Structure 1
Amino acid sequence: MPEPVTRKLHVAMFPWFAPGHMSPYLYLANELAKRGHKISYLLPRKAKSQLQSHNLYPDLVTFHVLPVPHVEGLPPGTETASEIPISLTSLLAIAFDNMRDQVEALLNDLRPDLVFYDTAFWITEFAPKIGFKTVCYNAVPAAPIALAFVPARNVPKDRDLTDEELIEPPKGYPSSSVVLRKNEAKSLAFISLEFGGKNVYERITAALKGCDAIAIRTCKELEGQFCDYIGSQFQKPVFLSGLVLPEQDKTPLESRFSEWLGKFEPNSVAFCAFGGQLILEEKQFQELVLGFELTGMPFLLALKPPLGANSIEEALPDGFEERVRGRGLVYGGWIQQPQILAHPSIGCFVNHCGSGTMWESLTSDCQTVLLPHLGDQILNSRLLCDHLKVSVEVERDENGWFSKESLSSAIKNVMDGDSEVGSMLKKNHLKWKEILSSPEYMSGYVENFIPHLYELLELGEAKV
């Protein structure tokens, strides 16, 4: 039996410049540093200021700030995806790719053992020269990767995929429930959009094909069949880090929210948040707030103003504020989402099912209603609703629009713990919450993840 490896790893990280990518990388960096490993985290200046307070091991996790070059068409000073509309993402990707030389020079100086990346496929091209191994670490769940980015899908370069081709799962795809439906093809059409000189499909598959190992922020118990499929498609080892959730933030909830929520009974308030980038059209924004009003329940909504509106207040339906005064609050600023979810009065969480929010909701005490908008969010939603049966997705019409009635009905369904649906969801949710919230369960994944990295470096034997 080989001797246990005692040499600590030096891991460099270079994720895509969006909060949903950078934060999970830092969570993993903290877990590796907790076990004595050194992390060199490459990021832009603005991202450093946003992430600094979440670096729990500054002696081992070092931020290396790189300037983001300007690209014509981007607002001056743009460094992260959260600063721009989705329509400008391809220009940010060009700026990202234009950093190749400075990334190569820094990695040549740092000489890490491993480099973790997600969209910077070109890192693999100079890895042999510098002498590090590459891990394509995906913060999104396995199901969207398995449906959209495996070689079996084979997105053509000379045309967009048809609706039928988009909703048809690739050969061998392991699920009949975590799929897109007829009116959802456009949500996956983004894979043929330009993303810095390549379309999204070409870029992500290049990142997956070029690495030494694929890693995914997920668990075998949740997505084992999708992970196995990805490994077979790319003929790569697939390492699972577990959910790698951040440590609980001890900062208390702002008094204006804690006092307001404190007026209501336990598990009686519906909370809604859609993350930092999603902006609704005005019609859907108004349908959303009217749907919460229709429930007759107290509610707290954290939303951005809809398209064309300068403020939340000017976009609200006529008479809405007067009708819901005392039981409904719509807020347009940044909000402490983890602390809100932990408040005893919150009973339901309506969200877009982005990757981070997906796991956050699954490990909270409240029931969830899902209103996804993009392809990966829709597939995440199917995973929770149809595969794990822990949530309800809001019904939409053939054009992808939801009504106030469909939203209200979904919220009432999950909030009614005595109904057959509400009872089933609560039972399943509790089961998964207990599993995923166990410190031993999560730490066990990280403990098993690290030996795989040693094996990749041929320094040790991975645990099976």
Structure 2
Amino acid sequence: MGDKDGVHVLLVSFAAQGHINPLLKLGNRLVSKGLHVTLATTEILRQRMLDSKITTKEKNSQIHLEFFSDGMSLDFDRKNNIDYFLEQLEKFGPKNLSSLIETLSVNEGRKFSCIVNNPFVPWVADVAQEHGIPCAMFWIQPCSLYSIYDRFYNNLNQFPTVTNPDKPVDLPGLPLLEKDDLPSFVLPSNPFGGFPKLFSKLFRELEKVNWVLGNSFYELEKDAIESMENLHPIRPIGPLVPSILLGKDLPSDSRMDMWKAEEACINWLDKKPPSSVIYVSFGSIVVLSSKQMENIAWGLKNSKRPFLWAAKPPEHPSSDGSGELPTGFLKETEEQGLVVSWCPQSKVLLHEAVACFVTHCGWNSTLETICTGVPVIAFPQWTDQPTNAKLLVDVFEMGVRVRADEDGMVSKGEVERCIGEVTEGPKAAELRKKAVEWKEAARAAVADGSSDRNIQLFVDDVRCKAMKEL
């Protein structure tokens, strides 16, 4: 590793692909600014990489990868016991991370001048404090969500309650948010205890972190960012996405894919006319009901447009057919569409054949579609996704949102309607124009604009604190 100034930074991530990849991108930027970077996560990720025989781009990377135990056996089902898993991680993670920090310091001379955590491991700030190391928090959702959660967990504004579950929320810097626009963790109906507990700790103890960095850019969320200036400021340094989406393809661009992408879909796209294909992906976590899968399938067929659907088979097939395609669908649409288990999303979104993206509105996917100027059909499911959908449609103005029936189901007719609206309806040209404007703004922010300035300020501050330690 080229030694420019000997300043070491430790990034600590929750072991999920959508959390690690933005941190790896942050690591790439810090390395390009002359810092040494280590990324630590739990051993389950190393096991998944081995099991999947994943060939990562890590061999080109200048980022050290380290692993620590979350206190549980590798074969424990974390996904289906999430609240218990989060408890155990909070119980055993701090001690094991602390031991790793000491080992790297003593044995390898990696004395960290800053530790960066993400929102799902807030206890890392306590470990940093114990070691006397300044801590930064890297917020991996939009700055608008940061504003919502800070106001919710610190009781600064009124939110829906058990007795008033439909109460709209009016916050500075944001459009009026109805119940269906709010992140699921702030709703009284939220069934998950572990995640709100994490966020509560995080937002009530923000004084433990010296910096809050955001995976967004100022121009995209100007009002929400400015609304936090007198509370707990957030400095956007993104979009932290694969460099190819920003007009470059750097050999050191680290990322991890836990599933092998099917490159054949690019050859398939090459044979399609420009702006003709509907791309569909619901990310790596969401598993839709069999009825919802059926409605999407027949909605795509009825649109009569070519489609590419990344439909990852569920890890644990269920008796009710969740996550599975309807019988006969592949045969009936073999001339019209292509279904793959996982695809190289960056290459797909950059392809001129893609007309729009039917997305669950995870923030990483949202940033990727912003950086490629592709309009969206927003199909949110949970956590931050409903708010991201609201932003895409009403703030960024680059998509339409599906409307669910009273039972929460999106009909095949609704899927077909949205495809028509975003590809050939009266708004289609305006949506595409707006999407392209955001693409150009994102590239400018990272090249030498607002995000690059913010990351440079952070690097200068870390260096300054490191010099004082000498």
TM interval, short-chain normalised? 0.7 to 0.9
Distance 1:389 1:305, change over 3 A: same
Q: In structure 1, list runs of 5 or more residues that go unmatched.
A: 1-5
Selected match of 2:402 from 389, 394, 402: 394
Deviates more, 1:315-324 or 1:30-39: 315-324
Which residue number in structure 2 is paired with residue 244 of structure 1? 240
Which residue number in structure 2 is paired with residue 127 of structure 1? 128
Which residue number in structure 2 is paired with residue 367 of structure 1? 375
What's the CA shift string for 1:248-303, capped at 9, x where partnerless?
2699x856323433332121111101111100011111111111111111111111
What's the CA shift string for 1:410-440, capped at 9, x where partnerless?
1111111xx4311110111111112213486
What's the CA shift string for 1:135-167, capped at 9, x where partnerless?
1111111112212343565399xxx94273675
Normalising to structure 1: TM-score of the pair?
0.82
What's the secondary structure of 2:427's corresponding residue? helix
Which residue number in structure 1 is paired with residue 67 of structure 2? 65
AA at the equivalent of 2:409: W
Which residue number in structure 1 is paired with residue 437 of structure 2? 431
AA at the equivalent of 2:397: K
Contact kept in structure 1, 2:22 and 2:140, CA below 8 Å: yes
Write the distance in 1 (CA, Å) between the matches of 2:180 and 2:321: 33
- Cα RMSD of the aligned pairs, angstroms, is 3.5
Contact kept in structure 2, 1:219 and 1:243, CA below 8 Å: yes
User: 1:403 Cα shift?
Assistant: 0.9
Write the distance in 2 (CA, Å) between the matches of 1:442 and 1:291: 43
User: 1:69 Cα shift?
Assistant: 1.6
Contact kept in structure 2, 1:312 and 1:330, CA below 8 Å: no
User: 1:222 Cα shift?
Assistant: 0.9
Selected match of 2:85 from 92, 95, 99: 92
Write the distance in 2 (CA, Å) between the matches of 1:125 and 1:140: 22
| Count of aligned residue pairs for this structure pair | 435
Which residue number in structure 2 is paired with residue 284 of structure 1? 292
User: 1:31 Cα shift?
Assistant: 1.0
User: 1:106 Cα shift?
Assistant: 2.6
Contact kept in structure 2, 1:352 and 1:372, CA below 8 Å: yes
What's the secondary structure of 1:271's corresponding residue? strand
Contact kept in structure 1, 2:217 and 2:442, CA below 8 Å: no
Which residue number in structure 2 is paired with residue 233 of structure 1? 231
Distance 1:230 1:184, change over 3 A: closer
Q: Bigger relative contact order, structure 1 or 2, given CA contacts below 8 A and separation 6+?
A: 2
Contact kept in structure 1, 2:153 and 2:200, CA below 8 Å: no
AA at the equivalent of 1:278: V
Which residue number in structure 2 is paired with residue 341 of structure 1? 349
Q: In structure 2, list runs of 5 or more residues that go unmatched.
A: 252-260
Write the distance in 1 (CA, Å) between the matches of 2:372 and 2:43: 32
Matched, 1:174 2:182: no
User: 1:459 Cα shift?
Assistant: 4.8
Selected match of 1:326 from 318, 335, 343: 335
AA at the equivalent of 2:200: E
Distance 1:394 1:153, change over 3 A: farther
Normalising to structure 2: TM-score of the pair?
0.81
Matched, 1:420 2:426: yes
Deviates more, 1:394-403 or 1:102-111: 102-111
What's the CA shift string for 1:91-110, capped at 9, x where partnerless?
23123221211212333434
User: 1:351 Cα shift?
Assistant: 0.7
User: 1:13 Cα shift?
Assistant: 0.8
Contact kept in structure 2, 1:351 and 1:369, CA below 8 Å: yes
Write the distance in 2 (CA, Å) between the matches of 1:162 and 1:457: 48
Moved over 6 A (4+): 310-314
Write the distance in 2 (CA, Å) between the matches of 1:283 and 1:341: 27
Matched, 1:106 2:100: yes
Contact kept in structure 2, 1:155 and 1:161, CA below 8 Å: no
User: 1:23 Cα shift?
Assistant: 0.8
Matched, 1:194 2:193: yes
User: 1:36 Cα shift?
Assistant: 1.6
Distance 1:433 1:163, change over 3 A: farther
What's the CA shift string for 1:41-62, capped at 9, x where partnerless?
112345357498344764x421
